[in-house]
Amino acid sequence: MSEQTNKSAEALAKASAGERVRVRAPAKLNLFLHVGDTRPDGYHALQSLVAFAEAGDVLEIAPAAELSLNVSGPFAAQIPRGSTNLVLKAARSLSELHADTPRGASIALEKNLPVAAGIGGGSADAAATLRALNLLWGLNRAEDELVDLARSLGSDVPACVLSRPCWMEGRGEHVSPANPLPSLDLVLVNPGVLLPTAGVFASLNARTGTSAMEPPGRIETLWDLVAYLEDSGNDLESPATHLQPDIDHVVEALHHEPGCVFAQMSGSGATCFGLFNDREYAEGGAGRIAQDHPHWWVKATRIAAPDIGAPRRV
């Protein structure tokens, strides 16, 4: 960076001093996930209803002369720090759209969600970074523009930019808002195993296809959602379980809990979710599962409100 450019970046940072942005990166849930044919580009065609949980990572971003990332939280050690880090890739991609003005940011990521777990993870963090920097840098990019940029970052990133119920197709790059969902009680459970997406798809030997479901109509209750999901499933659960048999044990543990009316793996795993008909049942179930399996990650949470991912100045 030249001296003049460096001074410009420092001036920009000073002008915005004291303006920090805080944003949540909620866990992504594939309420169902159907796989179709392999596309010419090598990706599989997908169809999914995606929702988001209140549980998630948190990012706090402050003005700075250059881009930097500091990671804390229970899963910080699993986050790559180099050029492959999706948070930094997202920040650089957005900055390059406005190359006329040097832009930096000090990004602090509180990593609460397990990595390679089928619930968004790095994709949710990258999407949250786009939303937060759009506010911090005063870019005024429309949501559709952020979704367009997100397509180049990963299959789950466009849905995570929305961070509200959405219908997902293609390899994940085509997303559209779905009808709101009620704030239902959930328990998320991960058996503490890494499950790379590529390996799960490589083990796939049966698929439902991408024409079995239509976007849901109005869903007002838990039972509306369960009825809608009755004829769906997650095509990746079987190959994931073949690679990590503990996934079966997680689903069984959720089904065993009183009040759990639906349990399934999310995404490519290994995190599974259970829908409960009462918060007391969800919290009690989470406590018992955590006590019986101390090495599992267990979290009682809820389906999030539509504004869960909105960045805010602090």
| Cis check: omega of the bond before 270, within 30 degrees of 0 | yes
Distance spanning both ends of the chain, measured CA to CA: 30
Predicted local confidence at residue 101, as pLDDT: 81
Give CA separation, 216 vs 37, 50, 176, 234, in Å: 23, 11, 12, 17
Strands 21-38 and 44-64: antiparallel
Quote the CA–CA distance of 47 and 231 in Å, as a whole number. 14
DSSP secondary structure code for residue 124 in this structure: H
Quote the CA–CA distance of 226 and 231 in Å, as a whole number. 10
Single-letter amino acid, residue 306: P
Q: How many CB atoms lie within 10 A of CB 66?
A: 14
Q: Domains of the chain by range and CATH?
A: 3-179 (3.30.230.10), 185-302 (3.30.70.890)
Indicate if the alpha-carbon torsion angle 98, 99, 101, 103 is positive or negative: positive
* pTM to 2 decimal places: 0.92
Predicted local confidence at residue 141, as pLDDT: 97
pLDDT in tens, 136-162: 999 999 999 999 999 999 999 999 999
* Spacing of C-alpha 57 from chain mean position: 9
**Which segments of the chain have a pLDDT < 70?**
1-18
The tokens 């999706």 sit on which residue?
A: 86
Predicted local confidence at residue 80, as pLDDT: 85
Q: Residue 285's closest CA among 161, 189, 216?
A: 189
Q: Are 301 and 7 in contact (CB under 8 A)?
A: no
Which residues are annotated as catalytic?
28, 156
pLDDT in tens, 95-133: 999 888 878 999 999 999 999 899 998 999 999 999 999
Predicted local confidence at residue 109, as pLDDT: 98
3-state secondary structure of 307: coil
Single-letter amino acid, residue 168: M
Predicted local confidence at residue 226, as pLDDT: 98
Q: Which residues contact 203 (CB under 8 A, 6 or more apart)?
A: 239, 240, 242, 243
